[in-house]
Amino acid sequence: MPDSIAVRRLDATEAEARISELAAVLVDAVAHGASVNFMAGFSQGEAEGFWQGQLPGIADGGRRLIVADHGARLVGTVIITLAPQPNAAHRAEVGKMLVLSHLRRQGLGRRLLAAAEASAFAAGRTLLLLDTESDSAGDRLYRSCDWIEYGRVPGHAYTPDGRLAETTMFYKRLVL
């Protein structure tokens, strides 16, 4: 893993300025088979629209965007969505955990996940949730980082190539 990759939180202003880079990471993930809500043929414009939709939550603090920068190039993302319900002030969800395909399997996903956990904990969240395609690279990463499986749903979501796939749900408790 190159030492020049920095993992940090982006505010809404910088996220908006870097929409095209955020979109490029998402397009790359979908093009390489990541089941992250979108289908094959997903365009840069559609990805930019997705990220534009995230900006209000980032601006109001309901979402935290953590990115990985390799020099001046954005190469990874993860979003922490803080539960807004009064009875869920201890909870957050992790999503859009993405690393450019040519940089995968070098520890960057692990670094992004650790930063997401730390950011959620700093926000007072002690229970994190996420879901991922069963038996995927993400599934293996979460297991190796001590996330606990709590269920599976067969045929939960389509993969980018149109195949129905099973989803595994995970949780992790963060302790003081």
For residue 52, which amino acid is it? Answer: Q
Residues 56-89 have pLDDT tens digits of 999 999 999 999 999 889 999 999 999 999 999 9
**Quick one: pLDDT band at residue 176, thresholds 50, 70, 90?**
low
List the domains of the chain with CATH numbers. Answer: 5-126 (3.40.630.30)
Both structure tokens of 53: 């939709």
Q: What pLDDT, on a 0 to 100 scale, did the predictor assign at position 127? A: 98
Is-contact 171 128, C-beta < 8 A?
Answer: yes
Q: What confidence score (pLDDT) does residue 4 get?
A: 83
Sheet holding 148-158, edge to edge: 5-10, 63-70, 73-82, 91-99, 127-133, 164-173, 148-158
DSSP assignment string, 107-127: SHHHHHHHHHHHHHHHTT--E
Quick one: 35 exposed, middle or buried, by C-beta within 10 A (0-12, 13-18, 19+)? Answer: buried
**Which pLDDT does position 122 carry in this prediction?**
97
Which pLDDT belongs to residue 19?
A: 98
pTM: 0.94
